[in-house]
Amino acid sequence: MIARRHQVALALTAVLAAGAACQAERREPPDRPGRPAPTTSADRGFTLVASGDVLPHTSIIDRARFDAGGQGYDFRPMLAGIEPVVSRADLALCHMETVYGENGNYTGYPAFKSPPEVARGLAETGYDGCSTASNHTLDDGAAGIRRTLDALDRAGVRHAGSARTEDEARTVTVLRAGAAQVAHLSYTYGTNGRPLPDGEPWAVNLIDEARIVADARTARQAGADVVVVSVHWGTEWQETPDRQQLTLADRLTASATGDRPDIDLVLGTHAHVPQAYEKVNGTWVIYGMGDQIAGEMVNHQGAVDPRGNQSTVGRFTFTPPARPGGRWEVTRAEFVPQLFDVDAGRVVNLNTALEQGADVRAVRDRVRDVVLSRGAAQDGLVMGE
């Protein structure tokens, strides 16, 4: 298995070199100069992309140190291969699974404290916002949350799911995408048994169906045209969505105020492996996008499992309603298969790699088959470039 990974790494040399060249032309998110004009005009709606878990193990931290020439940490080269997909969207969302440390005190599994330079890498790749509610949100208590959100703020990346103050916890994260206001909500199934900080029950959002629906309705009443919910859920290493995922997805997408659904898109993370996309009650659900960045992953049987470095980017084109107050409809749904090459330390767009001659067809097709395993192709989901 290890020899196979080295073969893939060698085959991807040209792809990674091309990604590094793209980095010099990296575009900035909307509130920073230099980002290209949105890919869709105001009357045609907007595109939203979303990607999976950013999970910097010790090997990832070491790679970022190497990419920075031993001075600080640089996560931009890792993400260069997916930058064209991310930066060209009107709105790009990531999942920041870990919290940040400080002064060189950085750790991987089991209690993560990542370099705050991750935030800059995400920003310069083109991400506008990240969900931050995960089972690792409390790995360093309230201080870890504070450092993480401070660093994301400095980088100009919005965040949802954890909070430094009660007022912040009560404030809905709203981002502009073309002519639309998009609310981003984020929740996790738990925090690995770590208790909420004393006096701060609002520090991280926990999954609760009634609360998610109430928050979505509050966001809509505040003017959100589109409500996106990120959920850290599911069973690790299981490609099939579990009962909690299926039940919650059905109930959240069935919730409506009048004839308008309360939630317009559900983005799942946590399982370490790609999971299916499915249209549930007329709303797209990604059960699990997989790990976008992670070190070599070992499953519950103690075996190195390459699925832990495979993932997808979801891309959805939203079109304005035909009448005021109507729903913004998803008129195109796509997924882009990814691989994190642990030897090269790079995110790889598998379709781009395949076009450039890399031997990744089997991996690409396996991810595709999982994504389409619940009939999403019949509802119009296609594989994007």
Span 343-364, average pLDDT: 97
Pairing of strands 310-319, 46-55: antiparallel
Whether the per-residue pLDDT at 350 is higher than 70: the answer is yes
Q: How confident is the model at residue 21 (pLDDT cuts 50, 70, 90)?
A: very low
Contacts of 298 (CB under 8 A, 6+ apart): 304, 305, 308
Q: One-letter amino acid identity for 176?
A: R
Backbone angles phi, psi at 247, to 5 degrees: -70, -50
Number of other residues whose CB lies within 10 A of the CB of residue 333:
20
d(CA 311, CA 9): 17
Identify the pLDDT of residue 16. 40
Identify the pLDDT of residue 43. 61
Identify the pLDDT of residue 249. 98
Q: What is the pLDDT of residues 110-165, one digit of tens each?
A: 999 999 999 999 999 999 999 999 999 999 999 999 999 999 999 999 999 999 99
Q: What is the pLDDT of residues 257-267, one digit of tens each?
A: 999 999 999 99
Mean pLDDT of all residues in the chain? 91
Q: What is the pLDDT of residues 29-83, one digit of tens each?
A: 334 334 444 444 446 799 999 999 999 999 999 999 999 999 999 999 999 999 9
Yes or no: say if 40 and 47 are a contact pair by the CB < 8 Å rule.
Answer: yes
Identify the pLDDT of residue 324. 87
Contacts of 280 (CB under 8 A, 6+ apart): 249, 250, 253, 266
Span 249-278, average pLDDT: 98
Fold held by 2-383: Purple Acid Phosphatase; chain A, domain 2 (3.60.21)
Give the residue extent of every domain in the chain: 2-383
Q: What is this structure's pTM?
A: 0.90
Pairing of strands 180-188, 173-177: antiparallel
